Amino acid sequence: MTLRQKIGQMIHCGFHGYEPGADIERMIRDRYIGGIILFARNVRDTRQVAAMNAEFQRIALESGQPPLTIAIDQEGGMVARLTEGVALMPGNMAIAAGGEPQNAYEAARITAEELLALGVNLNYAPVLDVNVNPANPVIGVRSYGESPELVAEYGAMAVRGLQEAGVTATAKHFPGHGDTNVDSHLDLPTVGHSRERINEVELVPFRRAIAAGIDAIMSSHIYFPSFETQKLPVTLSYNVLTRLLREELGFEGVIMTDCMEMKAIADHYGTVDAAVMAVEAGADCVLISHRHDLQEGAIEALVAAVESGRISEARIAESARRLLAMKAKRGITAESVVTAADNAYYAGEAFQSVGSRTHLETAQRISEASMTLIKDEAGLIPLRRGERTLVISVLAAAVSEVDESVDLPVTLGQALATQGLDVEERSVLLEEVGSSLAELAALAGSFAQVVVGTYNASLRPEQAALVRAMIDADRQPIVVALRNPYDIAAFPDVPAYVAAYESRPLALQSAAKVLAGTIKATGRTPVTIHPDDPAGWRRNSK
């Protein structure tokens, strides 16, 4: 391979649209890029995704290039780019709440089977961050929990499920994004713990993933001063990527960067310059998700760095070899991508399994097992049939750029109505909760039962005020936390509290079944949500 071909393999690009446009096609044909990343902006439906990916591979093969890595963030739960027509699995914290590590394996295996049927061969999952900080604005329910050992166990099962089905797994965000209170999409977080503490907490799941044979690890855009004397994020730190991850932990797979357009990188170092710094630090693959000019700029900057002697061509060849070896290991060959294209166009057996009844039943079983009844001291659950129930739903919103969009087709009230309950619902946008308090409190007075669906209320005081208004009016609300389970910390005296971990339609249906008494809530929250409620424990209910 030429120098430019080797550098091209190291660049993975995002694009806009539902089919390969001129810019991304040129990046494949003329810039030799090794991979594509898909976002919700690239997804119309499953057939379109499969046909688009087949076209990408056709362009690569016609150009004489190796088949492409086609990647996606399909974590499950609240972070997923494919949500319709597939068996969308619950997210990590919901899976862990069910208490069965095998569920992490099954969810990952089914996700991988469906991704492969659509031409996607790399998943930016699992998240192996240990969420020990309730104020974490970006991880939360994307983590399996607060226990390093639990995260390691469930994460290793997910790695096995993805890779046994033929999809590259990517552990993220090394060495850990679970104890930050800043979103690296927006700024550069710092984790100031000692090496000993990081070794005992953050690194435990990554060690286990390496032992499980993980193909790839994604670096975080976080500054860890205990490992790096200069104020450099992990992505740009030789001390962390090479000395810690490669040499100390013995990782021999592919090191990927998180998106280099995130503000933790772009605002402090510049995406193009940082691409060179990341390769110097030890990264094999540089991810640039949005702008075409920055993608081309990064390639030219890496070529110039080699030509000037700043980076050796041997260093470039080392990364290119790792990336090609990863493709070969997962069977990403010319023959396999042509077969996948035929499957997409002709609706072969694998494509027909996408969103199949069997897969959906597994997702439902895992979701129902996750429902966690934290508190019901007044015996409010199940809801009394024949009595009017007001449901106040705080609508889901993107809490970070990683969410993209969370416009959902089902509400908690609609889910409850399917259980035969007499329901009236008021849906409220996050930004309108404060201005709606008086109206909602007055409305609640004419209902025998009140259910409030909150969405990260522990981080949004206006939602706490809403629940407090119901408590003060003696409405005895049942609160259902539809994302982070920490919400009860904002209203510890609420009489009944259920953690659903997400507001995807399946989770809403599962929560509705609990409230209606159709199923029992058997989950245990894998994080400490209040000083009185340690992980894995719940209060006695009447």
In one letter, which amino acid is 200? E
Choices 3.40.50.1700, 3.40.50.300, 3.60.21.70, 3.40.50.1860: CATH for 371-516: 3.40.50.1700
H/E stretch holding 206: helix 203-211
Dihedral (CA of 248, 249, 251, 254) sign: negative
- Alpha carbon distance 247, 244 (integer Å): 6
- Alpha carbon distance 253, 239 (integer Å): 17
Catalytic position from the list 185, 193, 268, 290: 185
Whether 168 shows a pLDDT value over 80: the answer reads yes
The stretch 126-140 carries a mean pLDDT of: 92
Q: Six-digit token pair at 346?
A: 């002709």
Domain 8-352 top-level CATH class: alpha beta
- Alpha carbon distance 4, 292 (integer Å): 17
The stretch 357-372 carries a mean pLDDT of: 98
Residue whose pair of structure tokens reads 């041997």 in the numeric block: 314
Helix and strand numbers, DSSP H then E, in the chain: 20, 16
Predicted local confidence at residue 541, as pLDDT: 46
Predicted local confidence at residue 340, as pLDDT: 66
Task: Give the phi and the psi of residue 288 in degrees, each rounded to 5.
Answer: -130, 110
Predicted local confidence at residue 328, as pLDDT: 95
Does residue 292 carry a catalytic annotation?
Answer: no
By percentage, how much of the chain surpasses pLDDT 90? 81
Predicted local confidence at residue 67, as pLDDT: 96
Q: Six-digit token pair at 229?
A: 């004397």
Predicted local confidence at residue 381, as pLDDT: 97
In the chain, domain spans: 8-352, 371-516
Whether 54 shows a pLDDT value over 60: the answer reads yes
pTM score > 0.85 for this model? Answer: yes
Whether 404 shows a pLDDT value over 90: the answer reads no
Helix/strand/coil percentages in the chain, nearest 5: 45, 15, 40
Does residue 422 carry a catalytic annotation?
Answer: no
Predicted local confidence at residue 542, as pLDDT: 43
DSSP-assigned letters across all residues of 102-163: HHHHHHHHHHHHHHHHTT--EE---B------TT-SS-GGGSS-S-HHHHHHHHHHHHHHHH
Predicted local confidence at residue 342, as pLDDT: 65
Q: Six-digit token pair at 196?
A: 């000993």
Kindly report whether the peptide bond that precedes residue 175 is cis, defined as omega within 30 degrees of 0: yes
Nearest to 478 by CA among 412, 407, 408, 406: 412
Whether 408 shows a pLDDT value over 90: the answer reads no
Catalytic position from the list 73, 258, 284, 533: 258
Predicted local confidence at residue 351, as pLDDT: 82
Whether 377 shows a pLDDT value over 60: the answer reads yes
Predicted local confidence at residue 59, as pLDDT: 96
Whether 93 shows a pLDDT value over 80: the answer reads yes
DSSP-assigned letters across all residues of 184-204: TTTS--B----HHHHHHTTHH
Whether 41 shows a pLDDT value over 50: the answer reads yes
Nearest to 120 by CA among 128, 129, 111: 111
Whether 138 shows a pLDDT value over 90: the answer reads no
Is residue 95 a contact partner of residue 154, using CB atoms and an 8 Å limit? Answer: yes
Residue of 402 and 264 predicted with greater confidence = 264
How many angstroms separate the Cα of 307 from the Cα of each of 4, 9, 280, 281, 450? 11, 18, 14, 18, 68
Q: Indicate the average pLDDT of the chain.
A: 92
